């Protein structure tokens, strides 16, 4: 009996089918073996105007995940970061966060969303009970308001109220030294801009009672032209100007104000200046701008912080942003908590995270703490300094003592009815 080509094909087909069937049968076992990794979901903004910040969040977290995995992962289980774009829309943030948990099997969320998205993800965390670390929202009420408190939600990011206390303290010292009593403000017209400016002015007046605000300008967020604000500010002739404009809005304002020589006529306090995204984008960075630290590798002035900034730059070809260090720290906290709890279980990690202190390049004194009572980050480096036009951009940053921040924050919480 001769073998026909078709019968050979059939045998091959049978072999292929058998192999395929074996593969299908084995798939659940292979999947189960791989499922040992702890999936950490990260909803963030990877498209649109703030995509650079979301990308830096992903990069920084990934860099720390690689380090953590090299050191044994979370209690022996490797971390797998699953990152999804939310386009900065709260309904997408909610949808993506749910999908990460329900469909992708993520056991932990690092919510690298801006504030509105963060509140949406917070509600998902409430519904699903999953461990969630908010890593970018600076809105103080997210953790300060007891009505929003969840046992499974933490914040690993700077806070508006902390920055305002630090800024008010620093500015008051300059005011008292130089007699700058006439002030103006120019901040974006939305909740962050209005709240942060009000808090800064409140603390400034408290420490320097002679200060009066002679002009206020509220440009719209993402506004392209600041001529109206600039001429208003020049006409009011203040001695100092405060702004919490950020990102592209801040750099556009500085470039346009430079044409009118605004910075030669008044001291400029811009809380969001000392971030590489802003520092490297301004065409002619005027010297002497007062700024709070966002992320800068020279503050805290430690070899660990410089090494972290350089490592990030070497890996991704650009300097990290303020969102970057916060997300790196979120992964560090998870690794620290897993080590202490000897578990990767969300509930056990949450228990250990409350009050956990870890060593960190971003700490004011080399350490940061996840404060137990409101489950939020404290003891991170907070400082203010003045800019120069080239690296290191802010050669000297003055730290603000955390004890002072704690005292004033406690008063603020009492005034707001949060305690």
Partner 1 sequence: MTRPALRDAALALAGFLVLAILPLITSSSALIDFVIRCAALGLFATSLNLLVGYGGMVSFGHGLFFGMGAYSFGILMQRTGMPIPLAVLLTLCISALVALVVGAICVRLKEIYFAFVTLAFQMLVHSMIIAWVPVTGGDQGLRGGIPRPAFLGINLSDQKQLYLFSAALLVLGLLAMRHIVSSPFGYALRMVRDNATRAGFLGINVYRTRLTAFVLAGAFASLGGVIMSLFVSGAYPEFAFWTMSGEAVFIVMLGGTANFLGPLVGTGILLLLNDFVTRTAEHHGLVLGSVILLFALGLRKGLLDFVMEWLAARRTRDAATPAPVAVKGTST
Binding residues for partner 1, rule: CB under 8 A, are 46-47, 84-85, 87, 89-91, 94-96, 98-99, 102-103, 115-116, 119-120, 122-124, 126-127, 139, 141, 145, 147-148, 190-192
Provide the CB-side half-sphere exposure for 252 (13 A, CA): 16
Q: How far apart are CA 219 and CA 216, in angstroms?
A: 10
Distance in Å, CB of 306 to partner 1, minimum:
31
- Is the Cβ of residue 142 or residue 186 nearer to partner 1 in the bound state? 142
Distance in Å, CB of 212 to partner 1, minimum:
25
Residue with tokens 């700077």: 158
- Is the Cβ of residue 90 or residue 300 nearer to partner 1 in the bound state? 90
Distance in Å, CB of 95 to partner 1, minimum:
7
Distance in Å, CB of 49 to partner 1, minimum:
13
Cβ–Cβ under 8 Å, residues 373 and 311: no
Q: How far apart are CA 204 and CA 224, in angstroms?
A: 29
- Is the Cβ of residue 141 or residue 305 nearer to partner 1 in the bound state? 141
- Give the DSSP H/E element, type plus range, for residue 418: none
Cβ–Cβ under 8 Å, residues 50 and 114: yes
Phi, psi values for residue 44, rounded to 5°? -155, 180
- Is the Cβ of residue 51 or residue 213 nearer to partner 1 in the bound state? 51
Structure tokens at 293: 């630290």
- Is the Cβ of residue 316 or residue 406 nearer to partner 1 in the bound state? 316
Distance in Å, CB of 9 to partner 1, minimum:
34
- Is the Cβ of residue 10 or residue 91 nearer to partner 1 in the bound state? 91
- Is the Cβ of residue 122 or residue 162 nearer to partner 1 in the bound state? 122
Distance in Å, CB of 264 to partner 1, minimum:
34
Distance in Å, CB of 181 to partner 1, minimum:
30
- Is the Cβ of residue 45 or residue 233 nearer to partner 1 in the bound state? 45
Distance in Å, CB of 323 to partner 1, minimum:
18
Structure tokens at 175: 């005011």
- Is the Cβ of residue 102 or residue 284 nearer to partner 1 in the bound state? 102
Q: How far apart are CA 71 and CA 332, in angstroms?
A: 12
- Give the DSSP H/E element, type plus range, for residue 111: strand 108-111
Q: How far apart are CA 212 and CA 76, in angstroms?
A: 58
Structure tokens at 356: 């956990």
CA quadruple 67, 72, 74, 79: dihedral, nearest 10: 50
Distance in Å, CB of 284 to partner 1, minimum:
32
CA quadruple 396, 400, 402, 407: dihedral, nearest 10: -170
Structure tokens at 5: 């080509």
3-state class (DSSP) for residue 376: strand
Q: 82-112 b/e with 16+ CB inside 10 Å = b? A: ebbbbebbbebbbbbbbbbbeeeebbbbbbb
């Amino acid at each position: 009996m001769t073998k026909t080509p078709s019968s050979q094909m059939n045998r091959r087909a049978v072999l292929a089918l058998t192999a395929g069937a074996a593969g299908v049968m084995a798939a659940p076992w292979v999947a189960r073996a791989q499922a040992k990794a702890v999936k950490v979901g990260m909803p963030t903004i990877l498209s649109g105007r703030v995509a650079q910040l979301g990308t830096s969040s992903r990069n920084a977290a990934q860099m720390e995940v690689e380090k953590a995995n090299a050191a044994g992962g979370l209690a022996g289980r490797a971390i797998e970061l699953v990152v999804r774009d939310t386009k900065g829309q709260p309904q997408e943030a909610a949808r993506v966060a749910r999908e990460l948990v329900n469909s992708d099997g993520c056991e932990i969320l690092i919510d690298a969303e801006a504030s509105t998205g963060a509140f949406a993800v917070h509600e998902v965390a409430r519904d699903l009970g999953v461990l969630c670390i908010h890593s970018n929202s600076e809105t103080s009420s997210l953790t300060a308001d007891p009505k929003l408190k969840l046992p499974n939600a933490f914040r690993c990011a700077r806070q508006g109220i902390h920055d305002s206390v630090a800024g008010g303290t620093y500015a008051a010292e300059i005011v008292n030294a130089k007699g700058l009593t006439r002030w103006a403000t120019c901040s974006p017209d939305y909740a962050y801009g209005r709240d942060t400016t009000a808090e800064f002015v409140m603390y400034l007046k408290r420490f320097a009672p002679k200060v009066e605000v002679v002009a206020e300008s509220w440009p719209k967020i993402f506004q392209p032209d600041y001529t109206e604000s600039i001429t208003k500010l020049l006409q009011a002739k203040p001695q100092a100007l405060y702004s919490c404009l950020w990102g592209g809005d801040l750099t556009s304002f500085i470039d346009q104000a430079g044409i009118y020589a605004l910075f030669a006529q008044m001291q400029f306090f811009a809380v969001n200046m000392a971030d590489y995204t802003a520092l490297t984008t301004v065409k002619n960075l005027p010297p002497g701008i007062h700024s709070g630290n966002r992320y800068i590798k020279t503050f805290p002035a430690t070899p660990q912080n410089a090494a972290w900034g350089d490592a990030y730059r070497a890996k991704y070809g650009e300097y990290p942003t303020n969102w970057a260090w916060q997300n790196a720290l979120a992964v560090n906290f998870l690794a620290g908590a897993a080590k202490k709890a000897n578990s990767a279980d969300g509930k056990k990690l949450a228990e250990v995270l409350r009050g956990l202190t870890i060593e960190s390049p971003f700490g004011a004194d080399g350490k940061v703490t996840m404060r137990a009572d409101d489950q939020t980050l404290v003891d991170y480096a907070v400082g203010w300094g003045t800019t120069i036009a080239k690296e290191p951009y802010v050669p000297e940053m003055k730290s603000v003592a955390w004890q002072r921040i704690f005292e004033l924050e406690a008063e603020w919480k009492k005034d707001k009815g949060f305690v």
